Amino acid sequence: MIMTKKNFITLAACLMLATTAIYAQQTINVAYVNSDELLEAFPEKQQAVKQLITLSDNYKKELELMQGEYNKKYSDYITYQASLAENIKLRRMQELTELENRIEQFMELAQQDIEHQEKELLEPLRQKICEAIHAVGLEQSFTVIYDLSDDGIAFVSPEAVDANPLVKQKLGIRK
């Protein structure tokens, strides 16, 4: 069977129409969420905030005690500095320096602990939100769900096409 020019054009037109019809039926459903807003809606978030405030307050009280000790020693040093022997002056200055270093280390450790506790308390809630977003994306057949709180994409449909290989090819990247 020899394909004539007329048959070839007809076949090509039919293929184009079929392809256009298939692509026209594919709808792209885009949605958005605000994960910060969702996080705020959790009752557990309020409990976590209370725990973090309590922890922070405890660290502040301890820091105030340390600063009070430092201020007293510094005040005593200034008051009696003129009457102290040189060795005693040096030892008290060294004590003040050590106290300054301890206060600085304490502040760093307190900050790290508060950040760690925040992550421990809020990460399970963030994970629940992520799982719920994925479930909604699949159930509602969304192609993409954007997250307004972090300028990111929270969900991409498994049917979505990964264009990275095509773009790499276009750029001449072989990896």
> What sections of 26-163 are H helices per DSSP?
35-41, 43-80, 86-139
Sheet holding 144-147, edge to edge: 30-33, 144-147, 152-156
State the average pLDDT for the chain.
83
pLDDT tens-digit series, residues 29-41: 888 888 888 888 8
The whole-angstrom separation of Cα 101 and Cα 112 is: 17
Quick one: pLDDT band at residue 163, thresholds 50, 70, 90?
Answer: low
Q: What is the pLDDT of residue 126?
A: 92
Q: What is the pLDDT of residue 46?
A: 92
Q: What is the pLDDT of residue 10?
A: 57
Residue 93: strand, helix, or coil: helix
Length of the chain: 175
pLDDT tens-digit series, residues 43-76: 899 999 999 999 999 999 999 999 999 999 999 9
